[in-house]
Structure formats: C-alpha cells, structure tokens
Chains A and B, each alone.
Chain A
Amino acid sequence: MRARRLGLVLLGLASVGAVALAAGPRAGLLVAIGIGFGLVLEGLRFGFAGPWRLMIAERDARGLIAQFLAIGLTAAVAFPLLAANPVELSPAHAPIGLGMLIGAFIFGAAMQVVMGCGSGTLVNAGSGNLVGLVALAGFVTGAFLGTLNAGFWGALPGLPMASAQSLAGSTGGLLLTLAGLGVLAGGFALRAAPGKRLPPARLIWAAVLLAALAVGNLVVSGQAWGIVYGLGLWGAKIATALGADLSATAYWAEPSNVTRLSQSILTDVTSLTDIGLILGAFLVMRGRKAPGAPVAPLAARGWLLVLIAGVVLGYSSRMALGCNVGAFFSGISTGSLHGWAWFVAAFAGSALGLKLRPFVLIPAARPQGAPA
C-alpha cells in the first residue's frame, strides 16, 4: 500500500513537472492547483450537487453551508487582491440575463440527473465513476455546442453588468457579499433538520483548502477558477479535427478564442486545472485501500440518457455563463451579482432534476436467479 501511494505521489509530481517543462512554470503550477482541487473534492468528499440534493430531499444543510464558507473565505482574500491589482487580476463578472437564468435552471436540473456538476463530473470521471465518464463526454460536446449559440442566449433581455464592487466599492462589496452568504447560511440552517446544520470538521477543512486553492488559482492565472471554458475548447478542437470550420462562428472567430483554438491546450488556464482535477481524483481513488464499489450498471437506454443529460449539462453551462464553479463559486467570491442569480435559478432546477433522476438512471435488468 505504501509503495503504491509513493508511486501515486511520484505520478502527480511527474505530471506537474512534465507540464511545466512543456508549457512553462505557470502551466505546471495550474496543474498542481487542479490536482489540489481534485484531492480536496474527492478526498474530503466535498461536492456541490450532492449537498444540494441533501438539502432538498433530507433538509441537511451541512454541505451547503460549507460551500458558503468556502466562497466567503475566498471572497475575503479575493476582493482586496482584485482591488489592489486591477490590471493583473480579473474577476468572474457577468451580467444577469434571461438566457443566463434559463441556463442555470437547466444546469441545476441536469447536474442532479447525472449526479455531478462542473467540477463533480470531472471528479467522478477521474475517480472511476462510469456515469461521470459518460456525462463528461456529453459535457464536452454540450459545452462546445453551447458556444455556437452563445450570441443568441446572450442577446435575450437582461440587466446591465453589475457587481458588489460597483454597488458598494471593494470593502463595502465584500461586506455585502459576506452578509449575503451569512443570511443564506442562516436561512438554510433554520430550514434544516435538527443535527444537520453545522458542517463537520471534514467539510470545514475542505472549505478552507478549497478557498486557499481558489485564491492560488487567481494569483497564478490572473483569473478566477473556472471549468466550462476548457471543456468547450476540447470539444472545439475535436470538432476541428473532424473537419469543422469554426472560423465562421461568432464565438470562435473572436480573437482571444482564435488564439486558444490554434494554440496548445496547455496554454489554456481552465484546461490545466480541469486536467489536474481529473488526475487529483484518480490519485485519491487509487490511494485508498479499496477503490470503492463501481456504479450500478444501467440499462442501455439509461446510458444514452446519461450521455444526453451530459450534453444538456454542458450546453446549459454556456447559456448560464458558467457552472457551479465559474458562476456560483467564483462569481460570488469575486463580486459578480450573476453568481447569486445563478444560485437561485440552479437550486430551483435541482429540485426538478431530482424528480427526473429515476427516469434517466434506469438500472439494468437483473439476470434471472441473481440475488436481489
């Protein structure tokens, strides 16, 4: 066991070193941060979709309150950093719009169907969950397809760009953000069942570590933690390899996207942390004494529906201007008002997704004579 764990540590270090040699120290650091995200999310079982389900279905607010804690801790460092370094660091700000709200609602539903959000799908795939791997293939496809209609959804009615900083300045915006998170945490705690209010030490540690990694991501890459752009880029690269000409599409004709598409994946910051996330989850799964039971097999129709739900997850993440990480976690922790609207819409969508789950995750027929 010890030899295997040593081998896994060496694999992680070798991956970081190889990327640093191939694409520079920043790329290596971002893969290391991504591995850190994977280690924390999988190792300490910190998630987004799962705690939302627990809150809705079992009135268990512990995981959700831990999410607010992680966002608040990140905001406490990110707000002053962004204010002091407006040139070098960029927040995850986006406008609130009808397309964004519809997208967030659909994303919330789809993430409950496939049992994983943006980060969760990567972690699930890396830790050997077959539903996660199939959903990830759909996510990559959907995130790419979403870029082809991004202009349409973005043109639907919406509000002007606004942020906590634009409303109340940096310090005032931070206080507003922390107060908002406190009100949400308190509200969910009041709604929660007795004994399901205070996060356990494991989730508090995870929240602290996630916040440290998110700040590290901001300091190293110059922008907030994100997931979706990288997956859409992978889809665009695959589409191009299959002969698609994306130069006529508005999204991929935009100069910065042209650059991303023509250059190595290792120059894209969200791709680097996405790669690290998958690897980090793999390291945790293989480092355990037992890797855990495989997911229960689904009927063929169930696998097809998981793939379709993955496509919907990816497509809606583009409509919503981000997933649970880029819009919710990073949006709120860097002052974007759209992160709050995203949370409300996605949480409502999650309630619907939980009702849809049994129609998608259709178990395979048990062979005759098999134990029940």
Chain B
Amino acid sequence: MSRPKVALIALAALAALLVWDAAASGLPQPFAFPAALALGSGAAPTGAHCTRN
C-alpha cells in the first residue's frame, strides 16, 4: 500500500476518533477556555503527563 494511502487511513482514523469523541463528550465550553499561555496565567497546570501514575 502506498504511503499516501496509509497516511490517509491514519488521518481518517484520527478524524473519526475526534468526531465520535465530540459527539460523546461534547466540546469544551467557550467561556471555560484556559488562557492561551500557561506562563503568566496565574493558574497551576491541570494537564496529565505520562510521568505521573
């Protein structure tokens, strides 16, 4: 299978995951968006990281 075809399958799978997730979980509330930059926001980071179990 050619590289463009394989890559399109990867992108299609990713798009399907995002669309399904948006339907199942909804999109973030616009008024709850975090500041564009964590640095200077005054807020502690809330994201998860692989170094934490």
Contacts and interface: CB of A to CB of B under 8 A. Distances in A.
A205 interface: no
A81 B14 CA distance: 34
Interface in B32-50: 33-50
Interface size class of A (residues with CB under 8 A): 35 or more
Nearest to A257: B48
A263 B28 contact: yes
B49 A326 contact: yes
B50 to A, nearest CB: 4
Contact of B26 (A92, A264, A279, A292): A264
Interface stretch (A63-71, A167-175, A195-203, A314-322): A314-322
A106 interface: no
Given A268-B47, A326-B49, A326-B50, A87 B11 contact: no
Interface residues of B, number: 43
B47 A262 contact: no
Given A24-B34, A25-B33, A266-B28, A234 B49 contact: no
Given A23-B27, A88-B40, A268 B51 contact: no
Contacts of A94: 51-52
A262 B47 CA distance: 14
Given A26-B33, A224-B49, A279-B11, A128 B21 contact: no
Interface in A310-333: 317-318, 321-323, 326-327, 330-331
Nearest to B11: A282
Contact of B27 (A238, A262, A266): A266
Nearest to A259: B46
A133 interface: yes
A127 interface: yes
B12 to A, nearest CB: 11
Interface stretch (A50-58, A206-214, A215-223, A358-366): A215-223
B25 A133 contact: no
A108 interface: no
A197 to B, nearest CB: 32
A234 to B, nearest CB: 6
B45 A89 contact: yes
B31 to A, nearest CB: 10
Contacts of B26: 264
B25 A270 contact: no
Given A226-B50, A285-B3, A338-B51, A25 B36 contact: yes
B14 to A, nearest CB: 6
Contacts of A244: none
A251 B53 CA distance: 7
Given A24-B36, A29-B37, A338-B51, 5 more contacts: A88-B44, A241-B24, A270-B49, A279-B11, A291-B3
23 contacts: A23-B27, A23-B28, A87-B42, A88-B38, A88-B45, A89-B38, A93-B51, A125-B7, A125-B10, A129-B3, A130-B1, A218-B39, A219-B39, A220-B38, A223-B45, A237-B25, A256-B48, A257-B48, A263-B28, A270-B47, A270-B48, A282-B11, A327-B50
Interface of B: 1-7, 9-11, 14, 17-18, 20-22, 24-28, 30, 33-53
